Structure 1
């Protein structure tokens, strides 16, 4: 059982939904980013999604693209991202960390070396948005063998024929992308998302978490009411980009987690 599995089991026992927060590792610099990540559990975050900066983030909207650029310009690398996870683990051995990014930096690091390093750093799961199920032998299956969850994205365009393939080697949870497009592009609507979540849950026992387009406590509560939890990324990254101090960003995160946990 991974930390992710244990977290969902504990939340289920409490009758609570999961709040997942996405932050870009190294944005705007290593020290500020680590301070923010260390503060997330205290702000009610159940699972931390740590973005791995990359030069060509095709699934991300402007807010997260700019965050990745700031992180890269500040010297963030895959090695330093794993170093940040290790630093977080010095004081927190229970909050799950999911590393979200693209395959190129992992490939360049070497898959076997990366998996060993990620496991040692305290990473619990991976979301690699540009590796389709047809490429599971590349990373997904080795990751599961190394004890890391491999979390797959399902989208509004994932039809009933495609869905079993998407779910085939997925573990930890299913990440349902609530809108067609990039991060931060539009608002998620529970009325649209509910039937899709039900469709996915009919084919898997895994929790289904909904992300993209959730920016307010009210939206987080609404989405979490029809899913197993909610992900907020662009709104948190944007608050940091606006120059708000980490304490203020964490206060905002707390309102989002409170909204999710009310569901």
Structure 2
């Protein structure tokens, strides 16, 4: 049983969803991002989604783009990223660890080399944000070769046929994206209930919502729509910009506490 399966079984038995924070490796530097990961885990993270900085992050907003720039300025390379992941794996042997990056990084390093490095570091999954489901087979094949779960994105405008492809091909979990609103301003009319329902009908791996998560209300809405949990990215990454370190960690604790308060499945109904 994979670490993601274990996580989803555990949270289901506990009657709650999963919360998965995102962090950028090397933001603001290698050592501090390790401390940041420790803090997020201590505050209740069920898994981590870990960013490998890329020079042209077309799927990222300004907050995560700024984080990538800070990481580049700190000298972060793919090799250092895999070293970072191996440190976390050694420290947290049961925690699901997923990598979020872009296809060019994987291809430029050689797919076999990239995925083998991921396996050796102890990664569970890789999500390459710019790979559509209809062009992912080469990545799926090499991921299977190295026992890495390839995560695919279910966009809000996906056709039924495309959702069926995604449900059949994605491993570990299904990354659901909603562009209908931002934190505190999502509404039922734009929330991707139909996407999640269709994925369920095709028996996809559990869905995690990965856009616009910044409060317990956002988490509750994701669970109410049928997601098994949520990924919080920009709201946490933005806190790295807080210069006072104590204040930064305090605000992260408050945000994680708020997000976790939305995880009870009964509160989402």
CA drift of 1:70 comes to 0.7
- Is 1:212 aligned to residue 211 of structure 2? yes
User: Is the contact made by 1:178 and 1:188 (CA closer than 8 Å) also made in structure 2?
Assistant: no
CA drift of 1:190 comes to 4.9
| Residue 42 of structure 1: aligned partner | 42
| Residue 260 of structure 1: aligned partner | 263
What is the distance in 1 between the residues matched to 2:80 and 2:139? 21
What is the distance in 2 between the residues matched to 1:69 and 1:186? 28
C-alpha spacing 1:206/1:154, structure 2 compared with 1 (3 Å): same
| Residue 132 of structure 1: aligned partner | 132
- Is 1:200 aligned to residue 203 of structure 2? no
What is the distance in 1 between the residues matched to 2:178 and 2:242? 25
- Is 1:90 aligned to residue 93 of structure 2? no
| Residue 178 of structure 2: aligned partner | 178
What is the distance in 2 between the residues matched to 1:136 and 1:82? 22
C-alpha spacing 1:59/1:34, structure 2 compared with 1 (3 Å): same
Q: Deviations over 1:74-130 (max 9, x none)?
A: 101111111111111222101111100101111122211221211111110011011
Give SS of 1:49's match. strand
Give SS of 1:260's match. coil
| Residue 27 of structure 2: aligned partner | 27
C-alpha spacing 1:105/1:180, structure 2 compared with 1 (3 Å): farther
What is the distance in 1 between the residues matched to 2:84 and 2:209? 26
Task: Extract unaligned runs of 5+ from structure 1.
Answer: none
- Is 1:248 aligned to residue 250 of structure 2? yes
C-alpha spacing 1:80/1:187, structure 2 compared with 1 (3 Å): farther
RMSD (Å) for aligned C-alpha atoms: 2.0
| Residue 157 of structure 2: aligned partner | 157
User: Is the contact made by 1:2 and 1:148 (CA closer than 8 Å) also made in structure 2?
Assistant: no
Higher mean alpha-carbon deviation, 131-140 vs 28-37, is at: 131-140
| Residue 6 of structure 2: aligned partner | 6
TM-score, length-scaled by structure 2 = 0.89
Structure 1 stretches of 4+ with a deviation exceeding 4 A read 184-187
| Residue 233 of structure 1: aligned partner | 233
TM-score, length-scaled by structure 1 = 0.91
User: Is the contact made by 2:53 and 2:76 (CA closer than 8 Å) also made in structure 1?
Assistant: yes
Task: Extract unaligned runs of 5+ from structure 2.
Answer: none
Q: Deviations over 1:204-234 (max 9, x none)?
A: 2410111211211222222223221111100
CA drift of 1:202 comes to 1.2
C-alpha spacing 1:129/1:25, structure 2 compared with 1 (3 Å): same
